[in-house]
Structure 1
Amino acid sequence: MISETTISYSYPTPSALIAGSEPRLLLAGYSEIAKHPAPAFFQGHLTQPYTTARCLIALSNVVRASFTLAPAQAGMMKDPIVTAGAEKLRFEGFSQCAGVYARVDVLPGGHSGTFPANGTVNVDFNQPMINALHAISSNDTMQLTVNAGEINLQSQPEESITEKKVPLPVKWIKGLTTVQLFLAASERVHTFNKIQLRQLFQGIPAGAVKADYYLTVRGNKPVFSPVKAPKAICVGGIHRLRLLEPLLPLADELQVFVHPDMQSTTWQLYFGHVRFSLSLSREAWRGFSGEGAALDALIADVPDQLIDAMDKYSHVNQEFNPTLLAVEEQAGFEQIDQLTARLAAMGLLGFDLDDNLYFYRRLPFKLNRIMSLNPRMKDAEQLLAEDKVAIISRQPDKVEARVAGSGVTHTVVIAGEDARCTCTWFAKHQGDRGPCKHILAVRKKIN
């Protein structure tokens, strides 16, 4: 079942937090594509249970936060996504407005266990689960099992915390197709120690902030300022960074990554073998799910057999090495680059900033649904199907086309990476929110 806002999921068992001498967390998951019950994805202990629990609580705070939606709309969105593979555990989620993306990475050394299989599950965190995570102390140990059915956590003998199923927001699926492309283009610009990051966060103004703020370094001290300075980093909706404040006393350092066009900023806290990432969209009112950054990547036609080869090559959730895949499949590097961009645009690849590579995410829903969630791409396909795109001139470095609209004909000019259109969408956004349907249709026709 699919609607414009949610996909309904049915969980085989409830998630649970079971107390005891060794707390166990059991996360229930659901998949539309698995034909048989999946084996456990991870079984073992977390070596930093207190820190990991606090990071998961912070992730839940992000998921429950909203900077644009009404409370009634916000209450629908609660699910983190858990990926186990390549000796790492990754917990992901978006704010309810989809303008903030957060991820908890439990790295090698942060756990002591095995990965019998690799996989991704959508899980349910409710208030009893959060309360149980709050009860984890620095002296506790926590045993973790991640599979398609459950998680297990104990704080007192024979005490069990169960959770109900919740719907999966379509907005999250669309956000996954955008935020990873922004992350892949981002670069690290600052690293701050414990003292510096606390100084920095003291400068966040109170209340919701509508004006842009800028991150600069004066001497050895990082500061936020409403005044733009040379080499300053623009942060829209700076009040959203307060989601990190509960973790600051535990963090060893903060690294800041910035998109070249400052369409996003990523703030990464480090806790030994655990890492917490928070990515902010350019403005608080603009969610990652509406950016349109993935649309260009969806234009190129990639053979199904190459996607299937990549699926087998990655072993579900391992790191994705485009060069090795190109050699094994005897494919050109340009085609592999198109494959990488397309898979990221479909939500199948996440991006690790520290390792500077993609990791594979087996989405627990049908892949053909991803394409249906991009209305501009569907509109572009319809324009082509109705033969409404006419190429007027085509030169090596420039293409001009006419695209028939509702009572008006639009002119599209593409010169290299630059593309312009006479439609009202382009006039309003100037390409900042991805290409319009007319540009998409022309690019697909000439490719």
Structure 2
Amino acid sequence: MSETITYHYAKPSTLIREATADELFLAKYSEVQKKDAPCFFWGRLKDPYITARCLITLSNVVQSSFNLSPFEWKLLKDPIVTAGNEKIRFEGFSHCAGVYARVDVLPGGHDGEFPENGTTNVDFNQAMIAALSSIGKTENVVLSVGKKEVALARGNEKVVERKVPLPTKWIKGLTTVQLFLAEAEKNFSFNKIQTLQLFQSLPNGKPKADYYLVMRGNKPAFSPIKSNAAICIGGIHRLRLLEPLLPLADELRVFAHPQMQSTTWQLYFGAVRFSLSLSRDFWRGFSGEGAALESLIEDVPDTWIDAVDKYSYANQEFNPTLLAIEEGMDFKKVDNLTGRLSAMGLLGFDLDENHFFYRRLPFKLHRIISLNPRLKDAEKLLAENKVEITLKSDSKIEARVEGTGVKHLVILEGENERCTCTWYSRHQGERGLCKHILAVKKKLIS
């Protein structure tokens, strides 16, 4: 007696012929079905005191603002909590979205179960902060993370925080900060004594000029004078958010973006880790940097995005290089997929493990355009036939893009991309491509 299993494929296999190469895509059957479980994690924290101090610092970050009015503060909420792959991650931004913080409770930091992976967004109100502040070093604390709430219990006391809407500004910030982190490199590692010495040199007040992390022999210091191998820090006063944790940390590692668009400061407490990422300047929020725009130019089939989302859900991590090798995909297309998943807030980045981790957020493809107005404006320019390619050679592209009462000149020459618009003049490409360069690049591949 034989058994027959019938698979239903969403689409047929296809052969795509292009000028440079042919690509064969074989249809697959996926057994990945996302479960709708009410609980993502339930268990005991092994070091509740350290975890509580880290969460209080995270809350301090979320309650901080370096360029917004008190009225605007009230429009934003508190931590994103993700449970999965034996880790619990708490994330948040300052109100201005220029500081990103994350608490990672690693496998050795808890003793519990993960019935299902998932993500929720809650508001840490005063009751939760008070409960965290009163946790001692020897207490038995149980944490639960669910679809609609996060709860902390010890003895007969239990504090519950309900789910709140995820701010749009945070999704935009998550897009940029993860891509910056993926490009960051570890520059320094300091022990407890070096870390405390370093922060003793933190300047008072709110310096407007850049400061630099420098080494003087074996001693690190902050200095207003740049030197070789120094790390540039804008808005250095934001590092004071770390001060309550410094006496408890075993190690500090400092990571910097190659173009110094961000710096990340990671403190280590055994199986608990605290990360603080600073934008280039205190007045610049990660939500407005546009780091993903380059990868969003080329269209990617929605079915690919859905497939990679399921792949990430099943594995709880996403390694673009490994995916490209295993699936025989072009690296540029994988970068485009990474950009799209990041643009929907589905990916975070772990610097120590050097790969993206998965957040289970509502899967909305239309979110890509709605959260990237420059990309939307570029598509509008193309739809209105306002982009004209005037020169196209192997080494140089020139185009005229019609603006309001003026035509902008766009020049693409190797890695150099220039435009005569005000955005490019002001930012020189540091905050992502302007809409005119985006429109020209999109026209070239259409």
TM-score by length of 1: 0.88
- Could you tell me how far apart the structure 2 residues matched to 1:127 and 1:365 are? 31
Whether 2:378 is the aligned partner of 1:358: answer no
Q: Which letter does structure 2 place at the counterpart of 1:89?
A: I
Q: Over the residues paired in the alignment, what is the CA RMSD in angstroms?
A: 1.9
2:62 matched to which residue of 1? 63
> Which aligned pairs between 1:176-255 and structure 2 lie closer than 5 A?
176-255=174-253
2:136 matched to which residue of 1? 137
Whether 2:99 is the aligned partner of 1:97: answer no
Whether 2:49 is the aligned partner of 1:50: answer yes
403-412 or 309-318, which deviates more:
309-318
- Could you tell me how far apart the structure 1 residues matched to 2:286 and 2:421 are? 23
- Could you tell me how far apart the structure 1 residues matched to 2:354 and 2:34 are? 33
1:271 matched to which residue of 2? 269
340-349 or 390-399, which deviates more:
340-349
Regions of 4+ moved over 4 Å: 34-37, 162-167, 327-330
**Cα distance, 1:364–1:306 mapped onto 2, change above 3 Å:** closer
- Could you tell me how far apart the structure 2 residues matched to 1:35 and 1:116 are? 12
1:376 matched to which residue of 2? 374
How much does 1:329 deviate? Answer: 4.2
- Could you tell me how far apart the structure 2 residues matched to 1:328 and 1:267 are? 33
**Cα distance, 1:37–1:179 mapped onto 2, change above 3 Å:** same
1:301 matched to which residue of 2? 299
> Which aligned pairs between 1:17-56 and structure 2 lie closer than 5 A?
37-56=36-55
Q: Is the 8 A contact 1:132 1:155 kept in 2?
A: no
1:79 matched to which residue of 2? 78
How much does 1:382 deviate? Answer: 0.2
How much does 1:375 deviate? Answer: 1.1
- Could you tell me how far apart the structure 2 residues matched to 1:368 and 1:433 are? 23
- Could you tell me how far apart the structure 2 residues matched to 1:143 and 1:226 are? 45
Q: Is the 8 A contact 1:119 1:316 kept in 2?
A: no
337-346 or 368-377, which deviates more:
337-346
- Could you tell me how far apart the structure 2 residues matched to 1:191 and 1:267 are? 10
**Cα distance, 1:413–1:386 mapped onto 2, change above 3 Å:** same
**Cα distance, 1:162–1:171 mapped onto 2, change above 3 Å:** same
**Cα distance, 1:104–1:372 mapped onto 2, change above 3 Å:** same
How much does 1:417 deviate? Answer: 2.2
Give CA deviations for 1:404-445 in whole Å, capped at 9, x if unaligned.
Answer: 111111110111221101111111211111111100000111
**Cα distance, 1:36–1:361 mapped onto 2, change above 3 Å:** closer
Whether 2:320 is the aligned partner of 1:322: answer yes
5+ residue gaps, structure 2 = 1-32
Q: Is the 8 A contact 2:120 2:163 kept in 1?
A: no
Residue aligned with 2:263, SS: strand
Q: Is the 8 A contact 1:85 1:317 kept in 2?
A: no
- Could you tell me how far apart the structure 2 residues matched to 1:304 and 1:291 are? 25
Q: Is the 8 A contact 1:76 1:167 kept in 2?
A: no
How much does 1:193 deviate? Answer: 0.3
How much does 1:105 deviate? Answer: 0.6
How much does 1:169 deviate? Answer: 2.4
- Could you tell me how far apart the structure 2 residues matched to 1:374 and 1:76 are? 20
Aligned residues: 413
54-63 or 428-437, which deviates more:
428-437
- Could you tell me how far apart the structure 2 residues matched to 1:346 and 1:298 are? 12
Residue aligned with 1:154, SS: strand
Q: Is the 8 A contact 1:316 1:362 kept in 2?
A: no
315-324 or 386-395, which deviates more:
315-324
- Could you tell me how far apart the structure 1 residues matched to 2:325 and 2:229 are? 40
Q: Which letter does structure 1 place at the counterpart of 2:304?
A: L
- Could you tell me how far apart the structure 1 residues matched to 2:254 and 2:322 are? 30
Residue aligned with 2:128, SS: helix
**Cα distance, 1:165–1:184 mapped onto 2, change above 3 Å:** closer
Q: Is the 8 A contact 1:401 1:442 kept in 2?
A: yes
Q: Is the 8 A contact 1:264 1:281 kept in 2?
A: yes
Which has more radius of gyration? Answer: 2
- Could you tell me how far apart the structure 1 residues matched to 2:271 and 2:376 are? 43
Q: Which letter does structure 2 place at the counterpart of 1:350?
A: G
Residue aligned with 2:299, SS: coil
Q: Which letter does structure 2 place at the counterpart of 1:193?
A: N
Q: Say which structure, 1 or 2, has more relative contact order (CA 8 Å, 6+ apart).
A: 1
- Could you tell me how far apart the structure 2 residues matched to 1:269 and 1:349 are? 22
- Could you tell me how far apart the structure 1 residues matched to 2:161 and 2:108 are? 29
Residue aligned with 1:173, SS: helix
Residue aligned with 2:42, SS: strand
How much does 1:318 deviate? Answer: 0.6
- Could you tell me how far apart the structure 1 residues matched to 2:35 and 2:115 are? 16
5+ residue gaps, structure 1 = 1-33
Q: Is the 8 A contact 1:391 1:400 kept in 2?
A: yes
- Could you tell me how far apart the structure 2 residues matched to 1:44 and 1:268 are? 25
How much does 1:347 deviate? Answer: 2.4
> Which aligned pairs between 1:89-128 and structure 2 lie closer than 5 A?
89-128=88-127
